[in-house]
Amino acid sequence: MPDLSDPAERRLALLLAQERPLAVDRRRLAALGDRLEREFRRHAPRPWWRRHAAPLAAAALVPLLALPAWLLWPRPLPCPSALLIASVATVTAPAGRPADPGRTLLPGETVAVRGGRAELRWQDGSSLALEDGAELRLDDAGDGSKRVALVRGRLRAEVAPQPAGRPLRLAAAQGEVRVLGTRFAVECDPDALRVAVEQGRVEVQRAGDAAAVAVAAGEVARLAPGAPPQARALVESPLRNPGFEQPLGRDDAGDWCLDVRNGDARARLDEAAPHRGRQSLLLEQFRPLVFPPDAFAWPSWQEFVNSPHGGRGHASVSQHFPVQPGRSYAVRFHWRSQGLRREDQRPGPERGFVHFDAQLYFNRDHGGNRVQAITLLHAGDDAGEWTAWPPAGGANRGLFRVPEGANRGALSFKLSVARPDCTPRVWIDEVTCEAVADAP
């Protein structure tokens, strides 16, 4: 027994008695040890006899081959792990655990960016800047080359020159991007992979059939089911505020313009569950329409929808932008909805509709004559989850040529309501309208 009359012994006994056992998950710890051991082997300097024995033997046996043998002898592989640099502290790592700036990411680990940005940087200076919403896994290529898998979202890559035969490979569900040293941007949606190259050249290969296309600086390629991979010249988008990250503007400022006809319908920015970024555009009927009790029995449909006591709710947002006649523009957006309903004109309790429309207009001069109106989407059924337009694999690729005589384009999103007792909502996000070099 300790001598508890000795104050120092007594203090020691009292303190030690406070120890509480900590349950350590030894399997997790062993798994971490396995990964770290692999990482260690990659970086470990090779023993001198392994570095020199073979070349020396070759030199002794075949002097003429000594130099090529030395040159071809494999060198230590470059570092496949990457340093994680985050501008905000809300990056999450594999098991949803927060990850801090300065943390080393090991092969097999995933970074999911939530509410901020993150950057991965390798020792050779190559870096991937991940935007909010992006999810990326660092893979083990097995040959020392850099390999990442983009699960979703956007990133911008700046890749230092890579060793010959060991390009950086960026894989996604739709295909793979191979790069030896360049600057490019990648956007990965569930239905398409888009690669825009700023400098250098990358190869984009589609999963499945391995159809490939080389994408040069100033070009963009899109991988999607049903369309062959193709590189097109990239032109800056004429749209402003395409992700609705900034406040809605005024028409004369060239930004999204509010056009609310009915006081109980409105358009506003919404921070709840945007497709990407901080917020999305929300069109909503925030107070139910009221119809005369007998309106559902009126024989006239027009009379019903133009009822002076309630009638149609309508909220829309549009943006005007300059376009070049003869040039084609690729339009895309994402949307989801609650409470859409197909039109039913027949008298009865089901009478009415809740529609969402997306339209593209080509006009002559701002506020001038309409040259062409194109309905991109007319929806009476809900998209409960974020849905891309144009849909993957559909006939419509979202490419439109500007007709002669038009020099202004306009994109419009509209919620129309002619139903009582409902407050439908439509969210829109990530609108793009990019000029492309070729015709549809």
Partner 1 sequence: MSDSRRLVDGIARGDAALFRAFYDQNAERLLRFVHYRVGGDVALAEEILQEAFARLCADPGAVGRLPGDAMLVPWMFGMLRRIIADWARSRARGRCISLDSLDPGVQEALLQGEEDEPPADALAHPQMQALVGMVLSLLSPVHAAVLRAKYVEGLAVEEIAVRCNASAKVIEGRLYRAREAFRAAFAQVRADLEAGDA
Q: How far apart are CA 428 and CA 160, in angstroms?
A: 37
Residue 196 corresponds to which tokens in the numbers above? Answer: 């825009």
Name 202's bridge partners. 179, 215
From 52, 103, 166, 268, residue interacting with partner 1 (rule: CB under 8 A): 103
Place of tokens 């500007």: 402
Alpha-carbon gap, residue 168 to 160, rounded angstroms: 10
- Are 165 and 172 in contact by the 8 Å Cβ rule? The answer is no
Q: Is the distance from CB of 204 to CB of 223 less than 8 angstroms?
A: yes
Q: Nearest approach, Cβ of 6 to partner 1 (angstroms)?
A: 8
The nearer residue to partner 1, 46 or 287, going by C-beta atoms, is 46
> Closest CB to partner 1 among 104 and 306?
104
Q: 103 or 183, CB closer to partner 1?
A: 103
Residue from the set 87, 104, 246, 306 that interacts with partner 1 by CB under 8 A = 104
Which one, 91 or 360, has the nearer CB to partner 1? 91
Q: Write down the least CB distance from residue 12 to partner 1, Å.
A: 6
Instruction: Give min distance, CB of 278 to partner 1, in A.
Output: 20
Minimum CB separation from partner 1 for residue 133, in Å?
Answer: 20
User: C-beta of 286: minimal distance to partner 1 in Å?
Assistant: 38
Q: In the bound complex, what is the minimum distance in angstroms from residue 98's beta carbon to partner 1?
A: 6
Q: How far is the CB of 4 from partner 1 (least distance, A)?
A: 10
Q: Is the peptide bond before 390 cis (omega within 30 degrees of 0)?
A: yes
Cβ atoms of residues 252 and 284 within 8 Å:
no
Closest CB 111 distance from partner 1, rounded Å: 13
Q: How many residues of this chain bind partner 1 (CB under 8 A)?
A: 50
Closest distance of CB 34 from partner 1, Å? 9
Minimum distance, C-beta of residue 104 to partner 1, in the bound complex (Å): 4
Amino acid letter for position 68: P
* Identity of the residue, 26 or 75, whose beta carbon is nearer to partner 1 in the bound complex: 26
Contact 376, 389 (CB under 8 A): yes
Least Å distance between CB 102 and partner 1?
A: 7
Helix, strand, coil distribution of the chain in percent, nearest 5? 15, 40, 45
Which lies closer to partner 1 via its Cβ, residue 90 or residue 230? 90
Helix ranges restricted to H, 159-288: none
Query: Backbone phi, then psi, for 225, in 5-degree steps?
Result: -60, 140
> Closest CB to partner 1 among 8 and 210?
8
Which is closer to partner 1, CB of 32 or CB of 374?
Answer: 32
> Closest CB to partner 1 among 37 and 350?
37
- Rounded Cα gap, residues 87 and 114, in angstroms: 12
Residue type, 232: R
DSSP β-ladder status, 146-158 and 168-172: parallel
The crossing angle, in degrees rounded to 10, of helices 48-61 and 63-72 is 150
Specify whether the CB–CB gap between 232 and 301 falls below 8 A. Answer: no
Question: Hey, what are 327's tokens?
Answer: 């040039």
Among the residue ranges 12-20, 163-171, 195-203, 420-428, the one whose residues contact partner 1 (CB under 8 A): 12-20
Helix residue ranges per DSSP H, 79-237: none
CA distance 318 to 113: 30
> Can you tell me which of 13, 59, 149, 269 binds partner 1, judged by CB under 8 A?
13
Please name the amino acid found at residue 84. L
* Burial tier of 348 (Cβ tally within 10 Å: 0-12, 13-18, 19+): exposed
Q: By CB under 8 A, name the one of 106, 235, 290, 399 that touches partner 1.
A: 106
| 236 near partner 1 (CB under 8 A) | no
Choose one: 36-44, 239-247, 260-268, 291-299; the region binding partner 1 (CB under 8 A).
Answer: 36-44
Q: How far is the CB of 24 from partner 1 (least distance, A)?
A: 5
Which of 34, 421 has the CB closer to partner 1? Answer: 34
Considering only residues 42 through 81, tell me which ones interact with partner 1, judged by CB under 8 A. Answer: 42-47, 79, 81
Q: Which stretch binds partner 1 (CB under 8 A): 102-110, 273-281, 369-377, 392-400?
A: 102-110
Distance CA 319, CA 338 (A): 24
Strand blocks (E) in 87-234: 91-92, 98-99, 103-105, 110-113, 118-121, 127-130, 135-140, 146-158, 168-172, 175-179, 183-188, 193-199, 201-206, 212-216, 219-223, 231-233
| CA distances for 199 relative to 138, 160, 181, angstroms | 24, 12, 9
Q: According to CB under 8 A, which residues from 80 to 99 bind partner 1?
A: 81, 89, 93, 95, 97-99
Give me the 16-35 binding string for partner 1, x by CB under 8 A, dash otherwise.
xxxxx-x-xxx-xxx-xx--
Summarize as ranges the residues that interact with partner 1 (CB under 8 A): 1-2, 7-20, 22, 24-26, 28-30, 32-33, 36-37, 39-47, 79, 81, 89, 93, 95, 97-104, 106
